């Protein structure tokens, strides 16, 4: 008689994330054609605490991020329209900053370590939203933006033998004030 043996190996898993709290942004834009514009330097600040979670336990570390990029914006309607839907594609840099207090022992340190450091990463971004003209030069934009970067392992460092995903996708809803000349 043959015996079938089945071995199940349970490996604890952890989730590494950035907890979005509050954010703000500013954009300067230049219209090129009726339905295409290019922003000047766009800046967003995001209060984003670093978080590790596993098995009902979590650890958190104060953090922030600064994103600087240029976008090509494709919008509906003419430049005279008061409300315009838009889509944007952009490239830039994102600075991830760990600014909490480091400790000799950190919960869930078998998965990773929080560090009080900064890590610049190349970034791609896409967005979709609606812009509402407040006057001829100022508009309010409500959008959902996806920031795509390499994972900032200098700020949230994996423990020896642990591997984090190499790509970070952060979807952020935001409202921006836009000044256009």
User: 125 CB contacts (<8 Å, ≥6 apart)?
Assistant: 67, 69, 71, 88, 89, 90, 91, 92, 145, 146, 147, 148
Average pLDDT on 84-112 reads 90
**Mean pLDDT score of the chain:** 82
Q: Is the dihedral of CA 16, 151, 91, 119 positive or negative?
A: positive
pLDDT value for 126: 96
The two tokens of residue 88 are 């944007």
pLDDT tens, 18-43?
Answer: 777 777 777 666 666 667 777 767 88
Q: In this predicted structure, which of 1-10, 86-95, 118-127 has the lowest mean pLDDT? A: 1-10
Q: What is the DSSP letter of 159?
A: P
Distance from chain centroid for Cα 69:
12
What residues contact 80, with CB distance under 8 A and at least 6 apart?
none
Q: Look at residue 9 and tell me whether its pLDDT is greater than 80.
A: no
> Would the pLDDT of 76 be above 50?
yes
**Higher per-residue pLDDT: 174 or 147:** 147
CA distances from 91 to 47, 123, 178 (A): 21, 6, 18
Per-residue pLDDT for 94 more than 90? yes
Reading the block at residue 134, the tokens are 């407040």
pLDDT at residue 138 above 70?
Answer: yes
The residues pairing with 161 across neighbouring beta strands, listed in sequence order, are none
Which tokens sit at 82? 């008061």
Across 126-155, average pLDDT:
91
DSSP class of 1: -
Domains of the chain: 23-50+57-180 (2.40.160.20)
Ramachandran area for residue 108 (φ above 0: left; ψ -120 to 50: alpha; else beta): left
- Quote the pLDDT of residue 123: 97
Mean pLDDT, to the nearest integer, of 89-97? 95
pLDDT at 144 over 90: yes
Using a pLDDT cut of 70, give the percent of the chain over it.
86
pLDDT digits (tens, 9 = 90+) for 112-121: 889 999 999 9
Distance, in Å, from the CA atom of 43 to the CA atom of 25, rounded to the nearest integer, reads 6
If one counts every other C-beta atom within 10 angstroms of the C-beta of residue 99, the result is 14
Contact assessment for residue 97 and residue 116, using Cβ atoms and an 8 Å cutoff: no
């Amino acid at each position: 008689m043959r015996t079938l043996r089945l071995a199940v190996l349970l490996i604890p898993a952890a989730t590494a994330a950035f907890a979005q709290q509050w954010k703000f942004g500013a954009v300067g834009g230049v219209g090129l054609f009726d339905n295409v514009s290019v922003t000047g330097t766009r800046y967003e600040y995001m209060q984003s605490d670093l978080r590790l979670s596993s098995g009902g336990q979590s650890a958190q570390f104060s953090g922030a991020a600064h994103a600087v990029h240029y976008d090509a914006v494709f919008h509906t309607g003419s430049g005279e329209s008061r409300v315009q839907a838009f889509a944007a594609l952009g490239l830039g840099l994102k600075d991830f900053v760990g600014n909490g207090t480091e400790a000799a022992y950190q919960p869930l340190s078998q998965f990773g370590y929080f560090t009080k450091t900064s890590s610049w990463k190349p970034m791609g971004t896409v967005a979709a939203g609606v812009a509402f003209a407040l006057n001829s030069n100022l508009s309010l934009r409500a959008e959902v933006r996806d920031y795509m970067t390499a994972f900032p392992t200098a700020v949230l460092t994996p423990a020896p033998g642990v591997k984090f995903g190499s790509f970070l996708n952060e979807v952020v809803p935001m409202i921006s004030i836009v000044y256009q000349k």
